Amino acid sequence: MKQFTAMAILLLEQQGKLSLDDDVRKHIPELPDLGQVVTLKNMLNHTNGFREVYNLIPMTGWKGEDKLLREEVLETLKRQKELQAAPGEVYNYNNSAFIMLAEIVERISGQTFPEFMEENVFGPLGMSSSVVRANPSVIVPGASQGYTSDSTGFHETGDLYAAYGAGGIYTTVEDASKWMGNFSDPVLGGEELVTRLVTPDTLNSGDTMSYALGIMVGEHKGLVRYSHSGADLAHRAVFVYFPEIDAGVVAMSNNAGFPAGSVAYILADAFLSDEIEKEEDEEEQEEVKDSTSVEVAQRVMEMYAGDYMIKGVGYVLSFSFKDGMLKLTTEGQPESEMQAQSQTRFKYEGVDALIEFHLDDQGKVTGAVHSQGGQDYELELVAPYDPSLEVLQTYTGKYLSVELETFYTLELRDSSLVILIRNSPEIELDPVKPDHFKGDVFFLTEVLFERNELGEVSGFTASNDRTHGIVFAKQ
């Protein structure tokens, strides 16, 4: 979990060996100078502008259980030509940053990250059953095997390579409770350090973030909440702590399909109900009641149906009216129901997020805003687009990304445009609008073709929700 890596960095700062205001290049000088200073604090709170590695490397054909050296992650990040956003500008969840933070811990301490964590965090807290797994080939005594499932049944699944710093911690519920206890009785680091760990910063805009240093800070039914989830290819974990009542929940599973987040809050509500209910004032209860009783006419929900693209990201949210309700489908995710909170605002099922549809003076839908994690994302309503085979043919050919050192081949297959990548099934590209396509995999949610002065296709940029603007030039 990232809060442990944040603790390691704060301990090193406490020892006078670094500062959160340090430029990351002070400690990893081989990173390119991209024209702006990225501080260690930007790394810890996901406002750094670096590519997100587990959304980037899959673009090369890498799969989750394929070997991935930490050195390869750093080499890939060294080829980044510009930051995705100015430091402190936007929150963009980023495992790359925490992998680099673990590298910094190693360089400063002279120890491996697993050794440092054992000596400086797990040991002092008595977390005797906790270790950092260096890579999936390391045997962890007593560890639970991870499983995924499909139509044929359950399958053994390994861990992500190069993950420590961002994750890779094996622990138990008992040990996690000892970590939880350090928030109320900070024997490790002291009260000042723990306060810094859970104090959110502000974006350049002045907006307060909901993310502190490796940990989320928010509310649950009126109670302040410190929380974070963790997920590898199969293992799932959620940590939730309520400092005002000094109680919390840890949910863990070795099943990739386990809804750890939902289970954690179901347990919290069940076992801590007396304390939680005390914090819910009448206004909040009335708000919850109202949010579940709003009725929206069928014609209105049908009007909201359609494809909406997140501007600047390219991710498409598809809404439809089915079985008397508005439903959402996104690439690679199951269909989910929307719960009306007003005539224009809906809550996503199982996700702490909202969408507000925008109407003009004539009552016509003009777009929407998706709100999640303290940020608002503007959505563009996309009209249906069906290009001819002749138009699709102009996009075919071979393309090279220098940054990824990877070739893509684009071909027509059964009247559809597809991308061929090594070690991967073909990826179908669905047209969104002229020169704009979306892939049917999570790491290619937007493909924007570019043209030269003659109007010929000269290349494209590939993006997803965490990694933007990977350049591919036509060969």
Q: Please report, rounded to a whole number, the percentage of residues in the chain having pLDDT higher than 70.
A: 95
The whole-chain average pLDDT of the chain stands at 92
Provide the token pair at 38. 């990225």
427-441 average pLDDT score: 93
Q: How many CA atoms lie within 13 A of 392 on its CB side?
A: 21
pLDDT value for 388: 95
pLDDT value for 290: 46
List of domains in the chain: 2-49+84-214 (3.40.710.10), 289-382 (2.40.128.50), 389-474 (2.40.128.50)
Q: What is the pTM of this model?
A: 0.86
Q: What is the dihedral of CA 459, 463, 467, 471, to 10 degrees?
A: 0
Burial of 137 (0-12, 13-18, 19+ CB in 10 A): exposed
pLDDT value for 278: 65
Whole-angstrom distance, CA of residue 51 vs CA of residue 40:
16
pLDDT value for 162: 87
Whole-angstrom distance, CA of residue 336 vs CA of residue 348:
7
Residue 250 — φ and ψ, nearest 5°? -125, 125
Sign of the torsion formed by the C-alpha atoms of 322, 349, 263 and 245? negative
Q: Please report, rounded to a whole number, the percentage of residues in the chain having pLDDT higher than 90.
A: 78
Residue 460 scores a pLDDT above 70: yes
Bridge partners (DSSP) of residue 433 are 436
372: confidence class by pLDDT, cuts 50, 70, 90: confident
pLDDT value for 284: 52
Bridge partners (DSSP) of residue 216 are 211, 227
pLDDT value for 297: 93
pLDDT value for 373: 65
Distances (CA, A) of 350 to 259, 296, 353, 357, 376: 10, 20, 9, 20, 18
Whole-angstrom distance, CA of residue 112 vs CA of residue 121:
14
Pick 422 or 183 by higher pLDDT: 183
Burial of 413 (0-12, 13-18, 19+ CB in 10 A): exposed
CB 368 within 8 A of CB 379: yes
pLDDT value for 248: 96
Bridge partners (DSSP) of residue 228 are 239
